[in-house]
Structure 1
């Protein structure tokens, strides 16, 4: 799976992005909730007081891949598994709560506030105890170096996103090295999304260092844990308590991240090789988890959705917007949702928004003109000159056949692709399914636009602009995460307007206006929102299905029951 968090959004191989929730609590239930008839929890983590947890232990954490780059801000580093590891070892100056609200992280800051509205100026005061693993204090220079690199002005820095940073006019030293003043040239409402994670100035010293120096491992850290080992052969990373950590002592001794094929997850759990796994919307994994006496299934509102990304670049057959929209109308997302989720979730109404997910008070279904209608799809294709010619339509001697690229070891992607094959055949569109190794899926295909359409999941966060602008903004100098190269000046302006609006109600209206334009461009097709289900070892406390509280996970409080 591929995902993005913090100021960005994370792609996840398989089929699904992220947004809101509310409430709290934990559950001992072993079955998933019916999201259609019951309130889905904001978080389901078996919340426990710390004195109920053992001091020590190793949490075995399955991942789909090790990071291609430990610099999350570099284009190859923006994967969810890498972000989860970053949460243990790097500074997140603001953290997300389960209900999508955010909180200042007192381990790194003593205060952070707007000290001027016009121009917008933020003053951060750094915790005097905060320091990097090389012994150097965390200072204003770390903020300044990161802001300069991520503003998108130097194309030699292969950044995964510049949202927010591009609006910063200057970063200055305040009363001392621990006092940071950030002045914005253009207002940026979601300023709390920035500098999360914060990296040391050494990483941002030049383009070569930024792009390559942390490809193998992180060189400098500042978290409750530090790197113990990175084993590329065994595909395993171990982090251990950092004795130099100045905050509360973690309950765990170590966390071991290990690559496990999704099909092998239930057996690995049963054999004690891992302590939890994401059910990844897989009904077979759900049934295995229910039957395992050592497991409990935990579920919460999950900022995670499956979607199709279309390629609108000149080299793709889908460069024509009207063709993309016609094909979208021929895809029945309700049928796909029911086929994949089955008994896991009865709320299979179409997901009608790219920027707000169900559960958010600002969610609106903007998909009305683009909902499934096979007859309308056929009529639109006829009008575009793609005439039925045998099973597959053709125009000017060229068949209407599109290439769907999916990762080879994700069963849900395989299942979804077969449903798509049948649905598109019904409107005269051919689908060439290309399965590629998961380790190559993003790096060699998605990131470089080597597809006509592709299928994965987006994991989002509490910041719909900071988290998603780079996906939908069209910048010829930097694709960010707009892998399909689709956009418009109108959409760019709508996103910019939303980013600068400090009034919450007005900003929500601006964001929904931007979403309507995303639909009109045929940028992406949301399929369904994840039920957010995890199989978790019963002895784990303060860990499970976290809602939005995964950026970062609370590594200090998680542990095993006494």
Structure 2
């Protein structure tokens, strides 16, 4: 049976995108064998997704068919136990929080070594050791200990309750790697970490910009239909041409134009986990005043950003006014922020900025905000143009400064040398711990707001320490309102993920949070392309 899978987080008439977009097919309709050739722009420089260099590249996506965990994330950001990796995952105590994991005894690393409790002990120890250049989920810092009950069973004890616990209760690497900082830090520039998934990496070629994955002969679960997966890396225009020539089965789309699609191709578009935003530096100048920040927030027209995105990409993601969850995600509640220019002008007036011929003036000085943008990055440039236009309507002048892209974060964002800055953030299924670091503490390396708020920190703690889903949803709604009132980060719009995919490829397409099942990704048995 064949069906289009389009898991909507809302009405497409309202501009919302599906959370996943692929053609679903049952096992009896899958061809046995075949190669799936995929295109991407950048060949990773590090093939350890837990390393800081690897996590910030395409390595996690490329290596996804080779990796697995006790927790499988679903389309709406909820999760279930992946029985290929764990027989059970359960909360056995709440004060303190204790999670018990019973491993699947058949599970092994690529070399044949069984996945056992000692791997989890070593993994947590390494991820909390500064000598390892690890990029672990922030909830890892709340783990107090891993107590081994047997080779196949362990308990993860937390110092404090953390609702993001599912992200950190399974070892992503074998102990042989996490007991050696040299191996972890430097061992995966030209080779991939050991597989524990249905595929393994057979080739990484920097000469041909190619990565080839093949079936993992030690895989204990359902046999994957595909014989191999090949990744090829090139500039977007080259990838598009390769797809047209039949050399690729998937390529990312920069602009959606169905009229120019080659025959035998279809476009699959879903909401991605990325979203655009404006960060306001409340640590200096006029934006130290909450009323001025709130005025800026009320002047922003999210619908205009969505429409501009539609011009650029061909499809628009939904406007966004939340920072922890995204539309369609379990527990999401929109704040309901609406543009209100009159209220924005009143707030400026209350802050002492008076209208003078359409300009906000205080002590004979015009209200001017500096907005640096990285050179040659069209999305940032377009957002800056809209920000400039919209804030001008309440008398605020925005001074845009184009800076070198390779030093944009190092010289402007990290040292807080800006009033406004716009870039993309990324959501996740377990995002409370991560998003908290965008706001508190003040010295968090990811907090670019120039301030911290006790009220905001308390609201994040209320969400993190709530294990009941309904109560956590209520606490999250309160948190989003507090964050919106602080007006240090202004979410704008969800960014679409658009791929062009060869007809006949099933159970494969862009998703927001859902993990593709690589034991089901395949060519349809009736396809002539494979």
Task: Give the TM-score category using the shorter length.
Answer: 0.7 to 0.9
2:256 alignment partner in structure 1: 286
2:86 alignment partner in structure 1: 109
How far, CA to CA, are the matches of 1:230 and 1:451 in structure 2?
Answer: 41
Q: CA deviation at 1:95?
A: 0.9
Q: Is the 8 Å Cα contact of residues 108 and 127 (structure 1) preserved in structure 2?
A: yes
Match of 1:519 among 465, 484, 489: 484
| C-alpha distance 181-395 of structure 1, shift in aligned 2 (>3 A) | same
Alignment gaps of 5+ in structure 2? 526-530
| C-alpha distance 394-45 of structure 1, shift in aligned 2 (>3 A) | same
Q: Aligned pair 1:201/2:175, yes or no?
A: yes
2:459 alignment partner in structure 1: 494
Match of 1:558 among 521, 525, 530: 521
1:339 alignment partner in structure 2: 308
2:528 alignment partner in structure 1: none
| C-alpha distance 173-230 of structure 1, shift in aligned 2 (>3 A) | same
Bigger relative contact order, structure 1 or 2 (CA pairs below 8 A, ≥6 apart): 1
Q: CA deviation at 1:541?
A: 1.1
Q: CA deviation at 1:192?
A: 2.0
1:158-197, Cα deviation, whole Å (9 max, x unpaired):
55455322222210111x2222121223223332222467
Match of 2:276 among 307, 316, 322: 307
How far, CA to CA, are the matches of 2:232 and 2:412 in structure 1?
Answer: 24
Summarize the alignment of residues 236-275 of structure 1 with structure 2, pairs less than 5 Å apart: 236-262=210-236, 265-275=239-249
| C-alpha distance 334-483 of structure 1, shift in aligned 2 (>3 A) | same
Match of 2:158 among 180, 184, 195: 184
Q: Aligned pair 1:415/2:382, yes or no?
A: yes
1:77 alignment partner in structure 2: 54
How far, CA to CA, are the matches of 1:195 and 1:122 in structure 2?
Answer: 8
The 3-state SS of whatever aligns with 2:256 is helix
Summarize the alignment of residues 2-13 of structure 1 with structure 2, pairs less than 5 Å apart: none
Q: Is the 8 Å Cα contact of residues 269 and 496 (structure 2) preserved in structure 1?
A: yes
Q: CA deviation at 1:311?
A: 5.8
| C-alpha distance 523-315 of structure 1, shift in aligned 2 (>3 A) | closer
The 3-state SS of whatever aligns with 2:459 is helix
How far, CA to CA, are the matches of 1:63 and 1:452 in structure 2?
Answer: 34
1:303-362, Cα deviation, whole Å (9 max, x unpaired):
5343224263858996665554443333322112122225956886x4221222222463
TM-score by length of 2: 0.82
Q: Aligned pair 1:95/2:72, yes or no?
A: yes
Match of 2:331 among 362, 365, 374: 362
1:434 alignment partner in structure 2: 402
Q: CA deviation at 1:91?
A: 2.7
How far, CA to CA, are the matches of 1:138 and 1:42 in structure 2?
Answer: 32
Match of 1:504 among 437, 450, 469: 469
Q: CA deviation at 1:445?
A: 7.0
Q: CA deviation at 1:131?
A: 1.9
The 3-state SS of whatever aligns with 1:47 is strand
Q: Is the 8 Å Cα contact of residues 487 and 521 (structure 1) preserved in structure 2?
A: no
1:214-233, Cα deviation, whole Å (9 max, x unpaired):
45543433222222233345
Q: Is the 8 Å Cα contact of residues 60 and 274 (structure 1) preserved in structure 2?
A: yes
How far, CA to CA, are the matches of 1:527 and 1:216 in structure 2?
Answer: 38
1:11 alignment partner in structure 2: none
Q: Is the 8 Å Cα contact of residues 61 and 256 (structure 1) preserved in structure 2?
A: yes
| C-alpha distance 423-261 of structure 1, shift in aligned 2 (>3 A) | farther
Q: Is the 8 Å Cα contact of residues 69 and 82 (structure 2) preserved in structure 1?
A: yes
The 3-state SS of whatever aligns with 2:463 is helix
Q: Is the 8 Å Cα contact of residues 231 and 237 (structure 1) preserved in structure 2?
A: yes
Match of 1:329 among 298, 316, 325: 298
Alignment gaps of 5+ in structure 1? 1-23
How far, CA to CA, are the matches of 2:121 and 2:344 in structure 1?
Answer: 51
Q: CA deviation at 1:495?
A: 1.7
Q: CA deviation at 1:264?
A: 5.1
| C-alpha distance 234-34 of structure 1, shift in aligned 2 (>3 A) | farther
Q: CA deviation at 1:213?
A: 4.0
Q: CA deviation at 1:77?
A: 3.2
How far, CA to CA, are the matches of 2:208 and 2:461 in structure 1?
Answer: 45
| C-alpha distance 313-335 of structure 1, shift in aligned 2 (>3 A) | closer
Larger Rg: 2
2:339 alignment partner in structure 1: 372
1:54-79, Cα deviation, whole Å (9 max, x unpaired):
33333222334333543434444333
Q: Aligned pair 1:537/2:514, yes or no?
A: no
The 3-state SS of whatever aligns with 2:87 is strand
1:7 alignment partner in structure 2: none
How far, CA to CA, are the matches of 1:321 and 1:471 in structure 2?
Answer: 17
1:15 alignment partner in structure 2: none
How far, CA to CA, are the matches of 1:240 and 1:433 in structure 2?
Answer: 47
1:104-139, Cα deviation, whole Å (9 max, x unpaired):
122221222223344332221222222223433222
How far, CA to CA, are the matches of 1:261 and 1:447 in structure 2?
Answer: 29
Q: CA deviation at 1:475?
A: 6.2
How far, CA to CA, are the matches of 1:273 and 1:452 in structure 2?
Answer: 46
| C-alpha distance 41-220 of structure 1, shift in aligned 2 (>3 A) | closer
How far, CA to CA, are the matches of 2:57 and 2:44 in structure 1?
Answer: 9
The 3-state SS of whatever aligns with 1:164 is helix
1:74-101, Cα deviation, whole Å (9 max, x unpaired):
4443336222123222232211122433
Match of 1:353 among 313, 317, 322: 322
How far, CA to CA, are the matches of 2:183 and 2:355 in structure 1?
Answer: 54
Summarize the alignment of residues 115-134 of structure 1 with structure 2, pairs less than 5 Å apart: 115-134=92-111
Q: Is the 8 Å Cα contact of residues 408 and 435 (structure 1) preserved in structure 2?
A: no
The 3-state SS of whatever aligns with 2:257 is helix
More strand, by proportion: 2
